[in-house]
Amino acid sequence: MLFHVRMNVNLPAAMPAEEATRLKLDEKALAHRLQEEGKWRHLWRIAGQYANVSVFDVDSVDELHALLTSLPLLPYMQVEVMPLCRHPSSIRLDDR
């Protein structure tokens, strides 16, 4: 199942720089692993914002929920999820 996920990050201004750096490094490591596993198919920065648009390829909504709740930055994110399905006018036979 494919999901379009928008993540807006808002770290508190009072957060110590060392904590912010650690969270970002942990987030990056997890994002890399999930991309290598094929679960986080696309990751795009939204220009001028601390936000991204991503496409996840998972087996279920529960799996997506588990992945999103494992993100170190989740407590500082606003997340919007949209399930995707194939468009009948698409000329592609496979999205992989």
Residue 14 domain boundaries: 2-84
Output the domain CATH number for residue 40: 3.30.70.1060
What is the overall mean pLDDT for the chain?
A: 95
Please give the Cα distance from 69 to 56 (Å, whole number).
14
pLDDT of 13-22, one tens digit each? 999 999 999 9
pLDDT for 86 equals 85
Tell me the C-alpha distance between 60 and 57, whole Å. 9
Shortest CA distance to 79 belongs to which of 15, 22, 33, 10? 10
Cβ neighbours for 30, distance < 8 A, ≥ 6 positions apart = 70, 71, 72
Q: pTM for the complete prediction? A: 0.90
pLDDT digits (tens, 9 = 90+) for 40-66: 999 999 999 999 999 999 999 999 999
Of the CA atoms within 13 Å of residue 6, those in its CB half-sphere come to 6
In a domain, 93, yes or no: no
pLDDT for res 33:
98
